[in-house]
Structure 1
Amino acid sequence: MLDIQRVLKAKPKPHERAEAVRLDTPWTAELAEGTPLCEHPRPQFARSGIDILNGWWDVAFGPKPEGSPSIDDHPTFDGKILVPFSPEAPASGVGRRLEPNETLWYRRTFDIPELAGKRLLLHFEAVDHACTCWCNGKQVGTHEGGYLPFAFDITDALVGVSAEIVLCVTDPSDTGTQPRGKQKLQAGDIWYTAQSGIWQTVWLEVVPAAHIENVRMDANPDDGALHVRARTAGPDGDFYVWLLDGGRLVAEACVQTENGVAAIDLPVERPCLWSPDDPYLYSVQLAFGDDSVRSYCAFRTVGVERDAAGTPRFCLNHNPVFLRGVLDQGYWSDGLLTAPSDAALIHDIESARRLGFNMIRKHIKVESDRWYWHCDRLGMLVWQDMVNGGTDYSSWHTSYKPTLFSWSWTRFPDDTPKHRSALSAGDAAMRKAWTDACMGTVRHLANHPSIVTWVLFNEGWGQFDAAAATKAVRAEDPTRPIDATSGWYDQRCGDYFSIHNYFRPLEVLRDPAATPRAFVLSEFGGLAYHVDGHSALELDYGYETYANLDELKTAVRAQLAAAEALESKGCCGYVYTQLSDVEEETNGLLTFDRKINKLVKE
């Protein structure tokens, strides 16, 4: 039975967006030193000889040119920005939004390291959305896509002992159709401040001319082997892999690359299995010519299997594990999309664990690689969302209709031109951009053992051809289950029948697919409480608001208990909304500034 009163209370109300109050996190003070996020950005693919370029850069805003930007277009650099924070984030020191009709320019110099015949790569972990880069006035590359890392080889542009980098960025935000997550120029309710430009670490890396470009690892305990597939640059040669357990050599192998590709299968007898209770990691050393890379892996299997009663369940190492998940937007009061420090990333994971959750659903965002590394080593399961895109979302199709009419959850095909347009996916360029970003996300994160499910579409936001997308992701990564449509507009594909339920009694629903999938309550809760002095805005939003903390605690615990009770009825897990407050949303278990845990505050 639909709770109409709760629906009406939760309906977003038109209002003016107030100016947000600056909220410092416990890590904000560290940013005054001007060297944020100085740890190695890629613990799973690490070399020595890197230089982190985070810190104060020159910045300027200018008009957007008619065609491609030229370095001669840059305006006078009249300000400073603390990289890697977007100019919209308080931590950046800028406090200004990049408009869709503007360009954002960055500049800094660096000392050229000793190369001696080696190459110098300039890495950007994430830049939103499109950028052009010059080194010493020479264009070295362009990139589109706001959530995935990329690199430019700048060696041939280097002269003398120092070099200058200039970066030009444009970002249409939600005036475009590109994958953008929950960013919106007119933020409010469940939509957050639009951000632009560099928002993850920038760094330099020295590599040999012949080097390892990337590696894919599958540590499979079922066949007792570590499967390694690598791509190399330069002439073919010997490729080495060593597997170590606490410094003890477990296995080693060497093969000759063929056309820049190496494939090695290392037998491993009785490997120790990775789990949340024992997140056991093996060290991996890779070598090719003069190149050496440090990595790690974990032996574990994930999938949907039937339990003894025949009920489909999420299984880890072939054992059913009930998923106690929490939704994590990955937003911070000082850095917005960017965590203020590595310790802040750890804090959120450990807070989720202390609250009783064994899984985090990373919502509509690709996090920094270090966040996944911490989940790997701490034993936190991750459901990874793809970043949504599309035109303006129809409130009727993505919110009102599915809220009022649950029958619509399974009766709206997404593979017709009319329905694609209804779900804001009518633009072919948008569909290609989403597909490219989806496949790029899978390739980028595939080696992390903590990631146990890919989530493709959420609540119909830019949804299209979910069955085809499921097939493509399955071909790229057959080792993980897929939640094809989280919330509604199920297409009878993927491994889960995935439902959001904020306004009805919690229950397990009958799967409409011919072959039953695991039922998951992939969002529920959203209970809100505004903590004075720890909320960014006087306005607050949630699916039900409480007058005091005691009432909130009682209601949250009752909701979690109701979700827990679904396990015996065939549910494989749940995702509570949400880990922390974000701007107007005060339905977090932690405040936006991470200073108060609402469930434990006395």
Structure 2
Amino acid sequence: MIQLTKTLSSLALIGLLQLSAQAQENWQMQPVNIQTRWAKEVNPGNALKEYPRPQMVRSQWQNLNGLWQYAITPRDAAAPASYNGQILVPYPIESALSGVKKTVLPHQNLWYKRNIARPALKKGERALLHLGAVDWQASVFLNGKPVGDHTGGYQEFTCDITDALQAGNNELTVKVYDPTDQGPNPHGKQVLSPKDIYYTPSTGIWQTVWMEVVPAAAVADIRLTPDIDKSVLNVTVKAPEDCEIVLTATAGGKTVSTAKGIPGANIQLPVKNAKLWSPADPFLYDLQVQLIKNSKIIDEVKSYFGMRKVAIKKDANGFDRIFLNNHYTYNLGTLDQGFWPEGLHTAPTDEALAFDIKAIKAMGFNTIRKHIKVEPARWYYHCDKLGMLVWQDFVNPPHHMPEGAREEFEKEVAATMEQLHNHPCITTWVLFNEKWGAYDQQRLTEWVKQKDPSRLINGHSGEMLWVNEQLRSPSPNAWVSADMTDVHSYPDPMNAPAHPGKARILGEFGGIGVFIPDHQWNPMNAWGYIQVTPSSLKGKYTIMNQHLQLLEREGLSGSIYTQPFDVEGEQNGLMTYDREVIKVPFEELRKIHSRLVADMGAIPAVTAKAADITDPGIQYSRLLQQYIDGKKDPAFLRKLAMTAQQAGDKPGARRAAAGYIAGLKKPYSADDLSYIMQVTGSTQDPGFAILQEHTDEIDLALGQRQASVKMMNLIYQDHIHPAVSRPNAQPDWEQLAGNTSKYGAPGEEILLRAKTIYYLNRQEWDSFAKAAAGYVSKYGQYMRTDELNQFAWTAFEQVNDTSLLEPALDWSQLSLKGGDQAAYLDTYANLLYKLGKKEEAIKYQEKAVSLTADASLKENLEKMKRGERTWK
């Protein structure tokens, strides 16, 4: 196996040493509630320094990670004349490790800039700039000249920068636009307002940026597909057509076989008596790919491959099962989301990246479901080396599926499959998760299978979802064309239905919440499908796994437990988010799992603290007595408030938090403000006044409108909800306005919104339109475009008073500021038409029709042209 860490050339070392000592001293990680053991090892001189592309290695490369300059500008602004400060690439700007920890909003661009030296180029050689991943749209400039564009937040891309290089220093700039969860882009679990199972966004560059020098004629790509039944590795090499390809497979330094062929053709490399890759024995062959022209080697790359096969077959009992290398292999998996407290999408170090896989294997799992995230190439490299089966989720499109979302999803799915094809660890593609943005499932399932018949396709993971034995998501045509029937069942396991030719899978289950004090991202929230104490987790988890054994005997072929690590507000991991505490010891987990997976091969050495299984109530009671006895220092009060919240003592939590906040001194730190945001639970709490007074500072530290939204929620909870929640409630809006006016803009905004939603729910359409007019005119700039469109469409369908329809036209126009979308244009056109502006309406409707194949929009256009009503 090639040693990737030894491939640094002099070119790379020069790049790593360019950073000044002063610049390194100016960088520091921003505060974060918890951090992993690797965070303290990160500095601007060593940010993810390993070779980033393990399956196509060349010696001449330069790592461009390190300190860059950054700026945040309005989306329509030109390139910034000055920058806001330094950012440590490749950590997302929202992360603590970036040194910035700021939110970039959907109406803003993020800019990066740094200087690079022109590499020494021989005649004909090209300089390639590689970006591992940039979320979401990136435009790259060198010395002001555009050198490349890319759309897709999880896929690598390359720019040939040769022709834009000049002698000496060169200014490299990257412009990024990322609407997070408010655009057509696949975004996974990133949301602008994180909560429960949705997390902090990762905007911009989040994987390694690097440069390499390649010959004029070079290997551009390789595609490796093993066939163990025919004892061959199928290889396709992308390179200039007038060259020859020479392949050499080795094992332990000894040649196994060679083969020759031409670029673009399938070359069969013999691998006789192949040593097969599996979790128990993850054997990998080294591969050398040489490009020959005129009998001379003009390019050479090093790679590796594993010989393995995955298929659905019947076992001895007639059950359709997952077979690995023609042997039934139970896929015992866990749902890994790949988030880090200090780096978000980006692991602090390569050692940390590998640790997660090692820890999961040490727990006794042989499978990871990589959940709606695509990792850097080195993560899959570690899975290949360590022996871990991977079910790779595609990153889901947005739930509300705006115009363009389908096309972008399919483009990114295709790119992901190409990018990850060569990794033997990946055995299964997962198309959609629990119907998130799902559409055309049969077509897309068959499309994925056709593009990659060497792997299984789970096209409908959790399309049937049970929570507490209640079916949440019925489906009339579940699992069509897939290799699996897959159900999700929380918390307790269940079997999927039996369908001919399909393996039965429990795609998610468990989610047992256990909070570990002092190891929490958000100590005021401990989400899980169920909550148990640390002392009872082992028993509950063991019983769940015993039920898996029973289900396996009845045909279950694989299961995915939620989850290996806590993630932000979720505390249902087997380890804490900081990877410091294992809630059930590794050896005990392996023993529990060994009934389903007996042979795990070599177990990696990993370390973590064992959880304190003392009852949380007892722990809190001890702290409370210390408080009663006079202990009231700030650090103690802060811990007491959090522990009280976790133990369910709300009065105690309020008392301790109030004591802590009373002792804070101005100016408040970002950490202080974050804590106040967490513990303030009422307009009567002392923290609320601080939120009012320091709204701008909170928004600067935590993201725009975080303080305002928090205050609005508390105002609604304390003042408005009691008046509108009762059946047939008739709220006194004037009195409510008087009660909320003392809170300023947040009080007015939440009252106007509550009034609008109240009349919308009661279907009092004219009152809804009047209330919405007042709400949107003042606060429409903060509303989502889909909600603005829904308000406008509701008015179009239900309101006839033209004085009320005119404001609705303004709401519709506001929704179009995010870009032309067929559904929004349709709403705008229909409102124009209903208001008697026929010619203008037809113009906008024609534009809407040109953007979609939706027949209903075309029907509306024909009605407009004939002068017929388009509303009921």
TM-score if structure 2 supplies the norm length? 0.61
CA distance in 1: counterparts of 2:247 and 2:129, whole angstroms: 26
Q: For residue 201 of structure 2, what is the aligned residue in structure 1?
A: 194
Q: Which amino acid aligns with 1:220?
A: D
Q: Is contact 1:322–1:572 with CA below 8 Å preserved after alignment?
A: yes
Q: Is contact 1:589–1:599 with CA below 8 Å preserved after alignment?
A: yes
Q: Is contact 2:309–2:324 with CA below 8 Å preserved after alignment?
A: yes
Q: For residue 377 of structure 2, what is the aligned residue in structure 1?
A: 369
Which of these two proteins has the greater Rg computed from alpha carbons? 2
The CA deviation at 1:33 is 4.8
The CA deviation at 1:329 is 0.3
The CA deviation at 1:516 is 4.1
Aligned residue for 1:474, secondary structure, equals helix
1:51-130 matches, within 5 Å, as 51-65=62-76, 72-117=78-123, 118-130=125-137
1:355-434 matches, within 5 Å, as 355-390=363-398, 393=399, 424-425=400-401, 427=402, 429-434=404-409
Q: For residue 416 of structure 1, what is the aligned residue in structure 2?
A: none
- Name which of structure 1's ranges 333-342 and 106-115 shifts more when overlaid on structure 2: 106-115
Q: For residue 326 of structure 1, what is the aligned residue in structure 2?
A: 334
Aligned residue for 1:377, secondary structure, equals helix
Q: For residue 347 of structure 1, what is the aligned residue in structure 2?
A: 355
Q: Which amino acid aligns with 1:569?
A: E
Kindly tell me: are residues 518 and 256 of structure 1, through their superposed partners in 2, closer, same or farther at Cα, counting changes over 3 Å? closer
1:7-26 matches, within 5 Å, as 21-26=32-37
The answer to whether the aligner puts 1:276 opposite 2:279 as a matched pair is: yes
1:463-478 matches, within 5 Å, as 463-478=438-453
Kindly tell me: are residues 428 and 104 of structure 1, through their superposed partners in 2, closer, same or farther at Cα, counting changes over 3 Å? closer
Post-superposition Cα deviations, 1:29-80, rounded to whole Å, max 9, x if no partner, equal: 1113542111011111111101111111111111111xxx7xx522411301
Post-superposition Cα deviations, 1:537-591, rounded to whole Å, max 9, x if no partner, equal: 1212110112x31112222222222223311110001000001111100001111
CA distance in 1: counterparts of 2:271 and 2:357, whole angstroms: 31
Q: Select which of 289, 293, 304 maps to 2:301.
A: 293
Q: Select which of 527, 540, 543 maps to 2:526.
A: 540
Q: For residue 499 of structure 1, what is the aligned residue in structure 2?
A: 487
Kindly tell me: are residues 484 and 156 of structure 1, through their superposed partners in 2, closer, same or farther at Cα, counting changes over 3 Å? same
Q: Select which of 213, 218, 222 maps to 1:215.
A: 222
Unaligned runs of 5+ residues in structure 1 are 1-18, 394-423
Q: Select which of 535, 543, 546 maps to 1:558.
A: 543
The answer to whether the aligner puts 1:595 opposite 2:595 as a matched pair is: no
Q: Which amino acid aligns with 1:87?
A: I
CA distance in 1: counterparts of 2:246 and 2:87, whole angstroms: 42
Kindly tell me: are residues 20 and 322 of structure 1, through their superposed partners in 2, closer, same or farther at Cα, counting changes over 3 Å? farther
CA distance in 2: counterparts of 1:236 and 1:552, whole angstroms: 63
Q: Is contact 1:20–1:536 with CA below 8 Å preserved after alignment?
A: no
CA distance in 2: counterparts of 1:181 and 1:320, whole angstroms: 32
CA distance in 2: counterparts of 1:314 and 1:243, whole angstroms: 29
CA distance in 1: counterparts of 2:265 and 2:129, whole angstroms: 25
Kindly tell me: are residues 476 and 452 of structure 1, through their superposed partners in 2, closer, same or farther at Cα, counting changes over 3 Å? same
Query: What do you get for the CA RMSD once the two structures are aligned?
Result: 1.5
Kindly tell me: are residues 239 and 577 of structure 1, through their superposed partners in 2, closer, same or farther at Cα, counting changes over 3 Å? same
The CA deviation at 1:598 is 1.1
The CA deviation at 1:235 is 5.3
Q: For residue 504 of structure 2, what is the aligned residue in structure 1?
A: 519
Q: Is contact 1:36–1:54 with CA below 8 Å preserved after alignment?
A: yes
Q: Is contact 1:61–1:75 with CA below 8 Å preserved after alignment?
A: no
Kindly tell me: are residues 116 and 20 of structure 1, through their superposed partners in 2, closer, same or farther at Cα, counting changes over 3 Å? closer
1:135-146 matches, within 5 Å, as 135-146=142-153
Q: Is contact 2:479–2:485 with CA below 8 Å preserved after alignment?
A: no
1:246-261 matches, within 5 Å, as 246-257=252-263, 261=264
The answer to whether the aligner puts 1:224 opposite 2:231 as a matched pair is: yes
The answer to whether the aligner puts 1:178 opposite 2:185 as a matched pair is: yes
Q: Is contact 1:332–1:339 with CA below 8 Å preserved after alignment?
A: yes
Q: Is contact 1:60–1:79 with CA below 8 Å preserved after alignment?
A: yes
The structure in which a higher percent of residues are strand is: 1
CA distance in 1: counterparts of 2:584 and 2:32, whole angstroms: 24
CA distance in 1: counterparts of 2:511 and 2:198, whole angstroms: 15
The CA deviation at 1:162 is 2.3
CA distance in 2: counterparts of 1:554 and 1:256, whole angstroms: 59
CA distance in 2: counterparts of 1:354 and 1:468, whole angstroms: 39
Q: Is contact 2:33–2:520 with CA below 8 Å preserved after alignment?
A: no
Q: Which amino acid aligns with 1:580?
A: F
CA distance in 2: counterparts of 1:516 and 1:78, whole angstroms: 58
CA distance in 2: counterparts of 1:226 and 1:510, whole angstroms: 36
Post-superposition Cα deviations, 1:503-528, rounded to whole Å, max 9, x if no partner, equal: 5x5332423x5x34110101000001
The answer to whether the aligner puts 1:584 opposite 2:569 as a matched pair is: yes
Q: Select which of 484, 489, 492 maps to 2:459.
A: 484
Aligned residue for 1:73, secondary structure, equals coil
Q: Which amino acid aligns with 2:357?
A: I
The CA deviation at 1:20 is 9.2
The answer to whether the aligner puts 1:309 opposite 2:295 as a matched pair is: no
The CA deviation at 1:104 is 0.5
Q: Is contact 1:386–1:457 with CA below 8 Å preserved after alignment?
A: yes
Aligned residue for 2:113, secondary structure, equals strand
Aligned residue for 1:192, secondary structure, equals coil
CA distance in 2: counterparts of 1:506 and 1:73, whole angstroms: 54
The CA deviation at 1:267 is 2.1
- Name which of structure 1's ranges 381-390 and 234-243 shifts more when overlaid on structure 2: 234-243
Q: Which amino acid aligns with 1:264?
A: I
Q: Select which of 554, 563, 569 maps to 1:569.
A: 554
Q: For residue 495 of structure 2, what is the aligned residue in structure 1?
A: 508
Q: For residue 158 of structure 2, what is the aligned residue in structure 1?
A: 151
Aligned residue for 1:92, secondary structure, equals coil
Aligned residue for 2:47, secondary structure, equals coil
Aligned residue for 1:203, secondary structure, equals strand
- Name which of structure 1's ranges 447-456 and 110-119 shifts more when overlaid on structure 2: 110-119
Question: How many percent identity over aligned positions?
Answer: 41
Aligned residue for 1:184, secondary structure, equals coil
Unaligned runs of 5+ residues in structure 2 are 1-29, 293-297, 464-474, 586-609, 612-872
Q: Select which of 28, 44, 48 maps to 2:59.
A: 48
The answer to whether the aligner puts 1:529 opposite 2:507 as a matched pair is: no
- Name which of structure 1's ranges 332-341 and 265-274 shifts more when overlaid on structure 2: 265-274
Q: Which amino acid aligns with 2:243?
A: G
CA distance in 1: counterparts of 2:490 and 2:410, whole angstroms: 29
Q: Is contact 1:59–1:106 with CA below 8 Å preserved after alignment?
A: yes
Q: Which amino acid aligns with 1:159?
A: Q
Post-superposition Cα deviations, 1:403-445, rounded to whole Å, max 9, x if no partner, equal: xxxxxxxxxxxxxxxxxxxxx34x4511111111111111111
Aligned residue for 2:352, secondary structure, equals helix
Q: For residue 446 of structure 1, what is the aligned residue in structure 2?
A: 421
Q: For residue 6 of structure 1, what is the aligned residue in structure 2?
A: none
Which protein has greater RCO, CA pairs closer than 8 Å, 6+ apart? 1
Aligned residue for 1:486, secondary structure, equals coil
The CA deviation at 1:252 is 1.1
CA distance in 2: counterparts of 1:359 and 1:310, whole angstroms: 24
